[in-house]
Amino acid sequence: MSDSHDSPTIPDLIKKFHFVGGVLVFGTIITFVIDLMFALPLALSAVIGLLIALVKASFVVAVFMHYKWDKKLIWITWTMVLTFFFFAGMMGLIIWADGDAPNLARNEMSAIWVLLASLLGVVLPASFTVFTVKMLSQPAPVEAAAPKARRTAKKKS
Amino acid sequence: MEIPYTVKPRPDTGLYNAKLGIWLFLASEVMLFGALFSSYVLLRVGAEPGTWSMGLMDLFVGAGNTMVLIASSMFVVLAWAELKQGNLAGYKKWKWATIACAVLFLCVKWGYEWPSKFKHYDVWLNNATVLHEKFDEGYHEVASHGEHADDEHEHGDAAHGGDVEKHVEKIYTTRFFKERSEPSHAAFDDAWRNGTLALSGHINAYEEAQIDVRITDWKADAGVSEADAEKALAKQGAEDAAGLRLNGGLLLSKTGYDIAKRAEYALGQAGFTVALSVAGYERVEAHPWMWRTKRVNEDIGGKPRVSSIVFGLDHSHHQEITLDVGDIKRLSAYEPKHSTFFGIYYTITGLHAAHVFGGILIMLYNMLPIGLGLWHRDREQFTNRIETFGLFWHFVDLVWIFLFPILYIL
Is residue B253 included in any domain, yes or no? yes
Model pLDDT for residues B146-203, shown as the tens digit of each residue = 334 344 344 444 444 456 677 778 888 887 887 788 888 888 888 877 767 788 888 8
- The residue-averaged pLDDT of B94-120 equals 94
CA B135 to chain centre: 28
ipTM of the prediction: 0.73
Residues of chain B positioned with their CB less than 8 A from the CB of A20 = 74
Examine the domain organization and report whether B365 and B308 are in the same domain: no
Contacts of B220 (CB under 8 A, 6+ apart): none
Residues 145-204 of B with CB under 8 A from A: 178-179
- One-letter amino acid at A67 equals Y
Q: Is A36 in Cβ contact with B14 (below 8 Å)?
A: no
Residue B265 vs residue A155, higher pLDDT: B265
Is residue B141 included in any domain, yes or no? no
- Closest chain A residue to B31 measured between Cα atoms? A83
Is residue B85 included in any domain, yes or no? yes
Residues 3-32 of A with CB under 8 A from B: 3, 10, 13-14, 17-18, 20-21, 24-25, 28-29, 31-32
- Provide the pLDDT for residue B136: 63
* Smallest Cα distance from B112 to chain A, Å: 20
Best mutation site among A31, A37, A61 for testing chain B: the one with the most B CBs within 10 Å? A31
- The helix or strand, by DSSP H or E, that contains position B362, with its residue range, turns out to be helix B340-367
Please name every residue paired with B210 in a beta bridge, in sequence order, or none if there are none.
Answer: B280
Residues 378-397 of B with CB under 8 A from A: 380, 387, 390-391, 394-395, 397
Examine the domain organization and report whether B350 and B386 are in the same domain: yes
Residue B137 vs residue B54, higher pLDDT: B54
Contact in structure between A69 and A4 (CB atoms under 8 Å): yes
Best mutation site among B398, B400, B403 for testing chain A: the one with the most A CBs within 10 Å? B398
Last-in-domain residue among B271, B288, B322: B322
Query: Is residue B27 within 8 angstroms of chain A, CB to CB?
Result: yes
Q: Is the pLDDT of residue B391 over 90?
A: yes
Is residue B251 included in any domain, yes or no? yes
How does residue B316 score in pLDDT terms, banded at 50, 70 and 90?
low
Judged by phi (left if over 0) then psi (alpha if -120 to 50, else beta), residue B12 lies in alpha
Examine the domain organization and report whether B361 and B271 are in the same domain: no
Query: Is residue B88 within 8 angstroms of chain A, CB to CB?
Result: no
Cα–Cα distance measured from residue B74 to residue B186, given in angstroms and rounded to the nearest whole number = 47
Residue B136 vs residue B21, higher pLDDT: B21
Q: Is A57 in Cβ contact with B398 (below 8 Å)?
A: yes
- The helix or strand, by DSSP H or E, that contains position B213, with its residue range, turns out to be strand B198-218
Pairing outcome for strands B299-300 and B272-285: unpaired
Query: Is residue B111 within 8 angstroms of chain A, CB to CB?
Result: no
Examine the domain organization and report whether B347 and B400 are in the same domain: yes
Query: Is residue A138 within 8 angstroms of chain B, CB to CB?
Result: no
**Residues A152, A157, B6, B8, Cα dihedral to 10°:** -80
Is residue B331 included in any domain, yes or no? no
Q: Is the pLDDT of residue B221 over 80?
A: no
For chain A, residues with pLDDT lower than 70 are 1-6, 71, 73-76, 79, 92-110, 121, 132-133, 135-157
- Provide the pLDDT for residue A92: 67
Contact in structure between B393 and A25 (CB atoms under 8 Å): no
Contact in structure between B239 and B188 (CB atoms under 8 Å): no
Is residue B175 included in any domain, yes or no? no
Is residue B180 included in any domain, yes or no? no
Examine the domain organization and report whether B303 and B361 are in the same domain: no
Q: Is B12 in Cβ contact with A57 (below 8 Å)?
A: no
pTM of the model: 0.77
Examine the domain organization and report whether B219 and B272 are in the same domain: yes
Q: Is the pLDDT of residue B139 over 60?
A: no
Residue numbers of the domain that contains B268:
204-322
Residues of chain B positioned with their CB less than 8 A from the CB of A35 = 59, 408-409
Cα–Cα distance measured from residue B265 to residue B258, given in angstroms and rounded to the nearest whole number = 11
Examine the domain organization and report whether B382 and B305 are in the same domain: no
Examine the domain organization and report whether B215 and B287 are in the same domain: yes
Give the count of domains, chain B.
2
CA B360 to chain centre: 23
Selection from A87, A85, A80, A74 nearest residue A124 by Cα = A85
Q: Is the pLDDT of residue B69 over 70?
A: yes
Judged by phi (left if over 0) then psi (alpha if -120 to 50, else beta), residue B302 lies in left
Residues of chain B positioned with their CB less than 8 A from the CB of A28 = 63, 66-67, 70, 404
Is residue B152 included in any domain, yes or no? no
Q: Is A2 in Cβ contact with B7 (below 8 Å)?
A: yes
Q: What is the CATH number of the domain that holds B398?
A: 1.20.120.80
Contacts of A136 (CB under 8 A, 6+ apart): none
- The residue-averaged pLDDT of B125-133 equals 74
Could you give the angle at the alpha carbon of A120 between the alpha carbons of A115 and A121, nearest 5°?
95
In three-state secondary structure terms, B194 is helix
Residues 80-119 of A with CB under 8 A from B: 80, 83-84, 87, 90-91, 94-95
Contact in structure between B197 and B173 (CB atoms under 8 Å): no
Examine the domain organization and report whether B301 and B218 are in the same domain: yes
Cα–Cα distance measured from residue B89 to residue B94, given in angstroms and rounded to the nearest whole number = 9
Model pLDDT for residues B10-61, shown as the tens digit of each residue = 877 778 888 888 988 888 898 889 889 888 888 887 787 777 887 788 889 9
Mean pLDDT for all residues in chain B:
82
- Provide the pLDDT for residue B262: 84
Examine the domain organization and report whether B272 and B361 are in the same domain: no
Contacts of B81 (CB under 8 A, 6+ apart): A10, A13, A14, A17
Examine the domain organization and report whether B318 and B208 are in the same domain: yes
Nearest to B38 among A17, A45, A87 (CB): A87
Q: CB contacts < 8 Å between A and B, how many?
A: 140
Cα–Cα distance measured from residue B376 to residue B268, given in angstroms and rounded to the nearest whole number = 69
- Provide the pLDDT for residue A105: 62
What residue ranges do the domains of chain A occupy? Answer: 1-69, 71-134
* Smallest Cα distance from A103 to chain B, Å: 16
